[in-house]
Amino acid sequence: MFLQDIDVIDVDLCVQQPEKFIAHTRASADLSAVTPYLNAMFRTAAYNHDDRSIRFTSDRVEYTIIREQVNIAKFANRTELHELLDWFKDLVNDIYDSRGEMTPMYECRKPVPVFFIYNLLPKTNCRMCGEKSCMVFAALLNKLEADIDACPPLSEPKYAENRHKLEVAFA
């Protein structure tokens, strides 16, 4: 097995979201071998090829990886942290085992600008996405922490062209 274990070094309150936690952990293997594949897999990824570090978001949890160091942010409690570590370990090992059939990605994606996104949203502040305003939703889309499907009005025929532009931008 490529990645045997991940040790938790410390757990602290998350600065961005004080009701959540951040953990610093250390993997038993250098994860540089899999970060280009994680970059290809997660469209939320911010990848730096110089040190092969990566940051990506999955289910609103943020992962930052630099070699053996893995930081996980925005989880609810230590039980969830260990569930996430199990998930991440399985993911890394699956990628490592099947990397022959996968295509790595060595470039960093450019984020879609917030105002570009905002201008394509309905701008009704209907809150159906669960956020306070279309601007907040646009900012979350920019950080790839939300999905355009969370905006029901975008599925209406009159917004079909805007939706298509957003889909192309995020493709």
Output 87 or 106, the one with its CB closest to other proteins: 87
Separation CA 88–CA 67 (nearest Å):
14
Nearer to other proteins, 21 or 37 (CB): 21
Number of residues that bind other proteins (CB under 8 A): 17
Binding mask 11-50 for other proteins (x = CB under 8 A): xxx-----x-x-----------------------------
Over the window 75 to 114, marking each residue x when it contacts other proteins by CB under 8 A and - when it does not, the resulting string is -xxxxx-xx--x----------------------------
Number of H helices and E strands in the chain, helices first, is 5, 6
Q: How does strand 46-48 pair with strand 6-13?
A: unpaired
Angle at 50 between CA 47 and CA 55, to 5 degrees: 25
- Give me the least distance between CB of 5 and other proteins, in Å please: 10
The residue among 7 and 167 lying less far from other proteins, judged by its C-beta, is 7
Token pair of 131, please?
A: 């956020």
CB under 8 A: which stretch of 27-35, 72-80, 127-135, 136-144 binds other proteins?
72-80
Nearest of 159, 72, 76 to residue 120 by alpha carbon: 159
- Report how far apart the first and last C-alpha atoms of the chain are (Å, whole number): 33
Q: Which stretch binds other proteins (CB under 8 A): 6-14, 41-49, 50-58, 143-151?
A: 6-14
Cβ distance to other proteins smaller for residue 20 or 55:
20
Q: What is the distance between the alpha carbons of residues 80 and 97, in angstroms, rounded to a whole number?
A: 26
Which string of b and e fits 48-82 if b means at least 16 CB within 10 Å? eeeebbbbbbbeebbbbbbebebebbbbeeeeebe
Minimum CB separation from other proteins for residue 71, in Å? 14
The residues binding other proteins (CB under 8 A) are 7-13, 19, 21, 76-80, 82-83, 86
